[in-house]
Amino acid sequence: MPHVRTALTIVALNLVVVGLVAPATAHAAVDQQCVLSEVVTYDPPLTDTPQTVTFRVSGQLFNCTGSSASTGSYAESGTVTGATCTGTLSPGSGTRVFTWTNSAIAPSTFSYNRTATRVGGNIQVVAVGSITAGTFTPDPAKSVGLGAHPDPTACATAGVSRLTAAGSLTIGL
């Protein structure tokens, strides 16, 4: 849990810094900013041996700046061939649909390209793209998540079936 607390602290500090130093004109272009929390599950669990793995992402959006879309959720799933614990740093692309809790607000489809880098003992995943359908179309969007790197001992034995991340979503950069 220390890695998760560290990740949450880094995210909170980044959000505070962004709010304090960003020029006023930058805020005019941002239509939505949210804190995110997500869980990624792997079946079978990630190990050091390359294998085909199905992943499922379940995310929550909260403390959003848009009053009519103040919370939401998203899900994503797929299959990766040759997946390993160290392969979590590989780039990729995907699509997520942000479903806003207020049902009067149309869901937002986010199509993105993703990079992953090691930051200390954590993995930072940055997804950059645009809203291609629904509310906030055609705004650019960026998602940043930070989570602990898979446990090397577990990777060498039974594997890692779950990773968590915390971060932010910005729509309208």
Q: What is the pLDDT of residues 1-35, one digit of tens each?
A: 444 433 433 344 343 333 333 333 334 489 999 99
Q: How confident is the model at residue 91 (pLDDT cuts 50, 70, 90)?
A: confident
Count CA atoms within 13 Å of residue 69 on its CB side. Answer: 23
Inter-residue long-range contacts of 151-155, CB under 8 Å, 24+ positions, other chains counted: 152/85, 154/45, 155/46, 155/47, 155/48, 155/84, 155/85, 155/86
Q: What pLDDT score does 89 carry? A: 73
Per residue in 123-161, pLDDT (tens digit) is 999 999 999 999 999 999 999 999 999 999 999 999 999
User: Which stretches of 65-128 are DSSP H helices?
Assistant: none
| Helix (H/G/I), strand (E/B), else coil: 156 | helix
CA distance 27 to 65: 11
What does the pLDDT average to over 92-115?
A: 95
Q: Identify the CA nearest to 115 among candidates 125, 123, 105.
A: 125
Q: What pLDDT score does 19 carry? A: 38
Q: What pLDDT score does 44 carry? A: 97
Q: What pLDDT score does 23 carry? A: 37
Query: What mean pLDDT, rounded, does the chain reach?
Result: 85
Share of the chain above pLDDT 90, in %: 72
End-to-end CA distance of the chain: 32
Q: How confident is the model at residue 172 (pLDDT cuts 50, 70, 90)?
A: very high
CA distance 132 to 50: 33
pTM surpassing 0.85?
no
Domain ranges of the chain: 2-9+32-171
